[in-house]
Chains A and B, each alone.
Chain A
Amino acid sequence: AQSVTQLDSHVSVSEGTPVLLRCNYSSSYSPSLFWYVQHPNKGLQLLLKYTSAATLVKGINGFEAEFKKSETSFHLTKPSAHMSDAAEYFCVVSRTGTASKLTFGTGTRLQVTL
Chain B
Amino acid sequence: DVKVTQSSRYLVKRTGEKVFLECVQDMDHENMFWYRQDPGLGLRLIYFSYDVKMKEKGDIPEGYSVSREKKERFSLILESASTNQTSMYLCASGRSYSYEQYFGPGTRLTVT
Q: Does A106 contact B (CB under 8 A)?
A: yes
Residue of B nearest to A44 (CB): B103
Q: With A and B bound together, what is the CA distance between A99 and B101 in angstroms?
A: 11
Minimum C-beta distance from A76 to chain B (A): 15
Minimum C-beta distance from B3 to chain A (A): 11
Interface size class of A (residues with CB under 8 A): 20 to 34
Q: With A and B bound together, what is the CA distance between A98 and B43 in angstroms?
A: 18
- Cβ of A102 and Cβ of B106 under 8 Å apart? no
- Cβ of A98 and Cβ of B104 under 8 Å apart? no
- Cβ of B40 and Cβ of A106 under 8 Å apart? yes
CB-defined contacts of B40 to chain A, threshold 8 Å: 9, 106-107
7 A-B pairs within 8 Å (CB atoms) are namely A9-B40, A46-B101, A99-B49, A100-B95, A100-B98, A100-B99, A107-B40
Q: A45-B103, A99-B33 are in contact. List 15 more A-B contacts (CB 8 A).
A: A41-B105, A42-B105, A43-B104, A98-B48, A99-B31, A99-B49, A99-B96, A100-B94, A100-B95, A100-B98, A100-B99, A101-B48, A104-B35, A106-B40, A106-B42
Residue numbers of A with Cβ under 8 A of B are: 9, 32, 34, 36, 41-46, 49, 51, 90, 94, 98-102, 104-107
